[in-house]
């Protein structure tokens, strides 16, 4: 492993990444090439239009109406002159920053979307003045970062929203305030004004507009919660979230009533002081997850805190009523049918959510956990629909660490159904007469060094006498004991490779230059992809990987050199990261990059930006997640990408995690459902596969490369591994990416217990395991960097992004016998097989 000075990395990244197009656009054409398509010219292709249309038909389902007073949607009589205020009117956010940022052909902001829809925007002068305030503050912010050293440790640094004093109109007919917050990989959010909290300017303006305008809506174009306390005068609040390409048009549609919100929160939104502080967050070396399984609503509902906007909550323009029609227990499958009726004036969709309260017999249990949900079709006023929701009790067995067993303990299991975690009715009680050992495993994940927090259980007396009771027949539950022996058949073609060839295959996109592989400049088959595997001088087809999860992250424009290698014209690093680098570096770049000549064709890869993970989960619509997967899969095939580095399914453990927007929820069940649905959508396409990430307990960005998440075995299994387990069992993903963080002092990528025992044996995963993009850190750190040979020894398959030093580390380990040839060949076989599989058209 090469230890690199971080500043050098940044400079080199820039050298390699930036080049400016100097060539003129050529005629439009579309050319099939080695199975994928090259597009050039300015024409908007039919696939782009189709994908935008499909996304548009669902995207308002991700928006969550938190408050309403009936003033929206606008009627035909309402004015079309609008006062648009707020930092995201012109600087609208389609998603977060970092590797999840997708390069679009073009993005329409909210100001333009309203204008295009026939509105007169009355605040252009204000927005111009705001732009000046912003540019000045941003310049100062970047100077400060550069003065403090610059470089990769600034990745994801976001300027907090500045205060300003600009005149604004305080009275009128219609005003909308669009408040934006962005975050991204590398940095966590902060509980300060301008990030988690409103600035004084924002608070004052929002309150004035709410009081002075006849109709006022506060719109939140944020990737995660902000503290919305003390906004009592605001009667209409909409979480628009960040919806990719259709973000702005969706808002216009929701305001005008062409579409309606039908999303529900997948993470609790409440005052900052309400969130639990039992466990650590953003510690440098060790982050102790002392809260154990009490994450999100599992905590709030158990300690019975009032929250502002609970998990699963969301209003519509219309209102719904629901009643329980029937419930039954069939074997160990519980089924509830509810009648849902639209009792309001507008059309809409409603979500029914099923929660399970387990008995506190041997183990402490949260008040309830989500175990099922379903969304209605569009219902017109007075229309009804019956929704059926089923779940299998043993899928939600608790983990008893003492006996290393997933158990259904003796006692009463209360099933509840409703339209938010705080608005449910009991619909059945399942009696378990004696403890059932569902799955016997071994404790594998080490000691976090503390006992998990157990809240004082506030047992509320509940009258369940009218609720139907069922007794579970223990014989109906399938029992299992896991066996951990692992051997993977080694391909004879792999045995025939030289040691050097084998080592090259497990070192990501092995190239001599670490920097090139780090930022993906070594990728020459698909411009802007994150990496490609070694071809052993053309013997094998490279496996091409591109980032997500908000779409396929590849270059927008590229050209081919005389060897047919593709060169990215915009640079592989996200714009957000480039803007953090000093201007003098930018000038060095131009000269150092391959540039197209005037005769070269400029090709385009316009990918579709889908909603961020959190927004997708807010739709509570699996069909939408699958449709997004289908869009991604078809674009992967078109552009020649094999592995999508997504979906990302870490848990919203703290609302401050800088990458939460990429992740779905504070709840593992909805995360697992969404990840499975999107995986199915992608993998329906031939040779397009997903990579679930980041496995596991990657819940903060502070010191992201060398921080240890210290978590109990139970919390790991019930919260942090659960969504991965579900997606593996239900959707058979082809690849998984381990996380940067350590788990109880061991790098997740180097943990044989995690990769082999749990992932491959307990969960039955038989695909490829790669590391996240390791950067060897130097300096004062408690924990060491991971090493390639340790990763392979732990049954990982690919060390990413890989360097000459990592390759040498593998050769050395074979020589020293710390790594066996068989261990290496098992990894090589998996890469070899995938490469052969994608070769077949």
The interface mask with ligand BGC, positions 59-98, x = CB under 6 A, is: ----------------------------------------
The interface mask with ligand BGC, positions 341-380, x = CB under 6 A, is: ----------------------------------------
C-beta closer to ligand BGC: residue 198 or 727? 727
Q: Which residues ranging from 276 to 305 are in contact with ligand BGC (CB under 6 A)? A: none
Q: How far is the CB of 672 from ligand BGC (least distance, A)?
A: 19
Interaction of residue 108 with ligand BGC, rule CB under 6 A: no
Q: How far is the CB of 573 from ligand BGC (least distance, A)?
A: 10
Interaction of residue 644 with ligand BGC, rule CB under 6 A: no
Q: Which residues ranging from 700 to 729 are in contact with ligand BGC (CB under 6 A)? A: none
Cis peptide before 324 (omega within 30 of 0): no
- Crossing angle between the packed helical segments 722-731 and 668-683, to the nearest 10 degrees: 30
3-state DSSP assignment of residue 384 = strand
Q: How far is the CB of 509 from ligand BGC (least distance, A)?
A: 11
Q: Which residues ranging from 528 to 547 are in contact with ligand BGC (CB under 6 A)? A: 530, 547
Interaction of residue 573 with ligand BGC, rule CB under 6 A: no
C-beta closer to ligand BGC: residue 391 or 773? 773
Q: How far is the CB of 772 from ligand BGC (least distance, A)?
A: 5
Sole binder of ligand BGC in the list 59, 92, 99, 270 (CB under 6 A): 99
C-beta closer to ligand BGC: residue 520 or 681? 520
Interaction of residue 409 with ligand BGC, rule CB under 6 A: no
Q: How far is the CB of 741 from ligand BGC (least distance, A)?
A: 11
d(CA 563, CA 149): 39
Cα 138 → chain centroid: 27
The interface mask with ligand BGC, positions 772-791, x = CB under 6 A, is: xx------------------
Q: How far is the CB of 691 from ligand BGC (least distance, A)?
A: 8
Q: How far is the CB of 669 from ligand BGC (least distance, A)?
A: 23
- Distance of CA 765 to CAs 221, 397, 404, 610, Å? 37, 20, 21, 27
Q: Strands of 36-40's sheet, edge to edge?
A: 29-33, 36-40, 603-604, 557-560, 566-568
Interaction of residue 101 with ligand BGC, rule CB under 6 A: no
- Count of other CB atoms within 10 angstroms of residue 36: 17
- Count of other CB atoms within 10 angstroms of residue 380: 10
Sole binder of ligand BGC in the list 51, 693, 717, 793 (CB under 6 A): 693
Interaction of residue 645 with ligand BGC, rule CB under 6 A: yes
DSSP per-residue string spanning 492-544: HHHHTS-HHHHHHHHSTT--S-HHHHHHTTT--SSTT-SEE---TTTTSPPPE
C-beta closer to ligand BGC: residue 302 or 660? 660
3-state DSSP assignment of residue 415 = strand
Q: Could you tell me how many residues of this chain bind ligand BGC (CB under 6 A)? A: 8
d(CA 761, CA 393): 22
d(CA 336, CA 426): 11
The interface mask with ligand BGC, positions 646-685, x = CB under 6 A, is: ----------------------------------------
d(CA 60, CA 52): 13
**Secondary structure tally for the chain: helices H, strands E:** 21, 33
Buried b (16+ CB within 10 A) or exposed e, 758-783: bbbbbbebebbbbbbbbbbbeeeeeb
C-beta closer to ligand BGC: residue 90 or 704? 704
Indicate the burial class of 382 (C-beta count within 10 angstroms; 0-12, 13-18, 19 or more). exposed
d(CA 169, CA 409): 62
Helix (H) or strand (E) segment spanning residue 85: strand 81-85
Interaction of residue 516 with ligand BGC, rule CB under 6 A: no
- Count of other CB atoms within 10 angstroms of residue 488: 17
Interaction of residue 267 with ligand BGC, rule CB under 6 A: no
- Distance of CA 137 to CAs 17, 97, 141, 689, Å? 27, 19, 6, 42
The interface mask with ligand BGC, positions 169-188, x = CB under 6 A, is: ----------------x---
Q: How far is the CB of 647 from ligand BGC (least distance, A)?
A: 11
The interface mask with ligand BGC, positions 545-564, x = CB under 6 A, is: --x-----------------
Interaction of residue 762 with ligand BGC, rule CB under 6 A: no
Q: Which residues ranging from 430 to 489 are in contact with ligand BGC (CB under 6 A)? A: none
Q: How far is the CB of 332 from ligand BGC (least distance, A)?
A: 37
d(CA 109, CA 88): 8
C-beta closer to ligand BGC: residue 254 or 527? 527
C-beta closer to ligand BGC: residue 150 or 156? 156
- What is the DSSP-derived secondary structure letter of residue 105? S
CB under 8 Å to 736, separation ≥6 — which residues?
691, 692, 693, 695, 724, 759, 765, 767, 768, 769, 770
The interface mask with ligand BGC, positions 601-640, x = CB under 6 A, is: ----------------------------------------
> Could you list the residues that contact ligand BGC (CB under 6 A)?
99, 185, 530, 547, 645, 693, 772-773
């Amino acid at each position: 492993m090469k230890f690199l000075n971080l500043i050098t990395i940044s400079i080199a990244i820039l050298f390699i990444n930036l080049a400016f197009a100097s060539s003129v656009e050529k005629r439009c054409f579309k050319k099939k090439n080695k199975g994928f398509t090259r597009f050039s010219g300015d024409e908007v292709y039919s696939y782009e239009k189709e994908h935008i249309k499909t996304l548009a038909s669902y995207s308002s389902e991700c928006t969550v109406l938190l408050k309403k007073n009936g003033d929206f949607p606008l009627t035909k009589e309402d004015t079309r002159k609008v006062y648009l205020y707020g930092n995201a009117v012109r600087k609208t956010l389609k998603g977060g920053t970092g590797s999840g940022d997708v390069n679009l052909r073009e993005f329409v902001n909210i100001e333009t979307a309203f204008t295009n829809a026939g509105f007169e925007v009355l605040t252009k002068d204000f927005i111009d003045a705001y732009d000046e305030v912003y540019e000045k503050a941003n310049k100062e912010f970047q100077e400060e970062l550069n003065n403090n050293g610059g470089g990769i440790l600034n990745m994801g640094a976001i300027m907090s929203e500045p205060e300003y004093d600009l005149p604004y109109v305080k009275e009128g007919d219609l005003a909308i305030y669009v408040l934006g917050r962005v975050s991204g990989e590398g940095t966590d959010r902060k509980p300060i004004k301008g990030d988690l909290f409103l600035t004084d300017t924002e608070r004052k303006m929002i309150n004035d507009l709410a009081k002075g305008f006849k109709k006022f809506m506060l719109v939140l174009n944020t990737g995660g919660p902000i503290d919305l306390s003390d906004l009592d005068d605001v009667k209409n609040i909409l979480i628009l979230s960040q919806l990719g390409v259709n973000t702005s048009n969706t808002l216009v549609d929701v305001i005008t009533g062409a579409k309606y919100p039908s999303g529900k929160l997948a993470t609790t939104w409440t005052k900052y002081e309400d969130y639990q502080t039992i466990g650590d967050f953003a510690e440098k070396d060790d982050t102790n997850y002392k809260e154990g399984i009490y994450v999100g609503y599992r905590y709030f509902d158990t300690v019975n805190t009032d929250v502002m906007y609970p998990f699963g909550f969301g209003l519509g323009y219309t209102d719904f009523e629901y009643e329980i029609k029937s419930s039954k227990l069939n074997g160990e499958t519980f089924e509830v049918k509810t009648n849902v009726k639209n009792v309001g004036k507008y059309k809409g969709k409603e979500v029914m959510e099923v929660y399970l309260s387990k008995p506190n017999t041997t183990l402490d249990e949260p008040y309830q956990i989500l175990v099922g949900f379903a969304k209605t079709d569009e219902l017109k006023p007075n229309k009804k629909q019956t929704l059926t929701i089923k779940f299998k009790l043993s899928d939600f067995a608790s983990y008893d660490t003492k006996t290393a067993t997933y158990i259904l303990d003796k006692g009463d299991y209360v099933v509840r159904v409703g339209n938010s975690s705080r608005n449910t009715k009991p619909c059945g009680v399942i009696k378990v007469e004696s403890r059932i050992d569902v799955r016997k495993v071994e404790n594998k994940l080490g000691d976090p060094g503390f006992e998990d927090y157990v809240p004082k259980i506030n047992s509320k007396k509940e009258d369940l006498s009218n609720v139907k009771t069922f007794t579970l027949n223990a014989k109906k539950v399938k029992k299992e004991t896991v066996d951990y022996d692992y051997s993977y058949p080694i391909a004879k073609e792999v045995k025939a490779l030289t040691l050097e060839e084998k080592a090259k295959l497990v070192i990501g996109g092995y190239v001599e230059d670490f920097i090139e592989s780090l930022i993906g400049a070594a990728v020459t088959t698909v411009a802007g992809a994150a990496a490609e595997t070694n071809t052993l001088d053309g013997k094998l087809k490279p496996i091409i990987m591109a980032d997500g999860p908000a779409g396929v992250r590849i270059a927008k424009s590229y050209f081919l050199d005389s060897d047919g290698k593709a060169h990215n014209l915009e640079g592989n690093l996200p714009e957000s990261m480039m803007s953090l680098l000093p201007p003098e570096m930018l000038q060095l770049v131009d000269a150092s990059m391959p540039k197209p000549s005037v005769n070269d064709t400029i090709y385009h890869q316009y990918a579709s930006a889908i909603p961020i993970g959190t927004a997708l989960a807010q739709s509570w619509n699996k069909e939408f997640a699958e449709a997004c997967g289908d869009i991604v899969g078809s674009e992967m095939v078109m552009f020649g990408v094999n592995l999508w580095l997504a979906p990302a399914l870490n848990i919203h453990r703290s609302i401050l995690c800088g990458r939460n927007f990429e992740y779905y929820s504070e709840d593992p069940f909805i995360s697992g459902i969404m990840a499975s649905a999107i995986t199915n959508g992608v993998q329906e396409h031939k040779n397009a596969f997903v990579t679930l990430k980041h496995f596991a307990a990657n819940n903060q960005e502070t010191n992201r490369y060398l921080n240890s998440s210290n978590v109990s075995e139970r919390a790991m299994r019930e919260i942090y591994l659960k969504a991965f387990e579900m997606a593996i069992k239900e959707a058979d993903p082809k690849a998984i990416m381990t996380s940067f963080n350590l788990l109880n002092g061991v790098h997740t990528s180097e943990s044989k217990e995690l990769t082999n025992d749990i992932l491959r044996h307990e969960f039955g995963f038989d695909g490829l395991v790669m590391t996240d993009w390791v950067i060897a850190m130097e300096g004062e750190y408690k924990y060491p960097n991971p090493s390639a040979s340790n990763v392979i020894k732990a049954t990982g398959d690919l060390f990413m992004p890989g360097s000459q030093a990592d390759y040498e580390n593998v050769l050395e380990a074979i020589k020293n016998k710390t790594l066996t040839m068989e261990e290496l060949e098992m990894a090589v076989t998996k890469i070899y097989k995938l490469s052969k599989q994608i070769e077949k058209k």
